[in-house]
Amino acid sequence: MTEYFEIGQIVNTFGIKGMVKVKPFTENVEQFEELEKIYIKNKKGKKEYKIQEVKYHKQMVLIKFEGIENPEDADLLRGSYLVINRKDAKPLEEGTYYIVDLLGLEVYTDEGILLGKVDDIFNTGSNDIYVVKDELGKQVLLPGIEDVIKEVDIENGKITVHIIPGLM
């Protein structure tokens, strides 16, 4: 499993005191308030920053980092990713998973037929959609609902699904 994972991307600066505007990659945006530090990853590498303040504006998270005191400093972070260590992440409820842990898992039907590997997962509002791609590049879209996703076995790299009528 991945030791670090991205929870947002700095998309712009905000105000005159060095705050950054972050597009969150997590549904649990309150998680940002619980963090004391975070890693900022870009082409130069990964550097730890202490969080001084967290606010919210529309669908964005506004963060003030220690040592970033003006818009010019903040602008240097634009495009960077916010990364946390897995041990600092809030524990998930049973039956929920980090997307990064599901990507690349093999997807089998409950009849043992390999459909491909999880290539992407996106949210439609009502449920997640698993994008499964086979070795030829053919995609199958599977809704992330209990009727379809029957078992997720991260340790063995496998997801078992039930294909309901009309799905494929």
**pLDDT tens digits along 111-147:** 999 999 999 998 887 889 999 999 999 999 999 999 9
Q: Is 167's pLDDT higher than 80?
A: no
Q: Is 90's pLDDT higher than 90?
A: no
**Of 84, 92, 78, residue with least CA distance to 36:** 84
Query: Span 4-87: which CATH code?
Result: 2.40.30.60
Query: Span 99-161: which CATH code?
Result: 2.30.30.240
**pLDDT tens digits along 48-82:** 999 999 999 888 999 999 999 999 999 999 999 99
Q: What is the mean pLDDT of residues 95-109?
A: 90
CA–CA distance, 119 with 97 (Å, rounded to integer): 15
Residue 35 token pair = 């963090």
Residues of the chain with CATH 2.40.30.60: 4-87
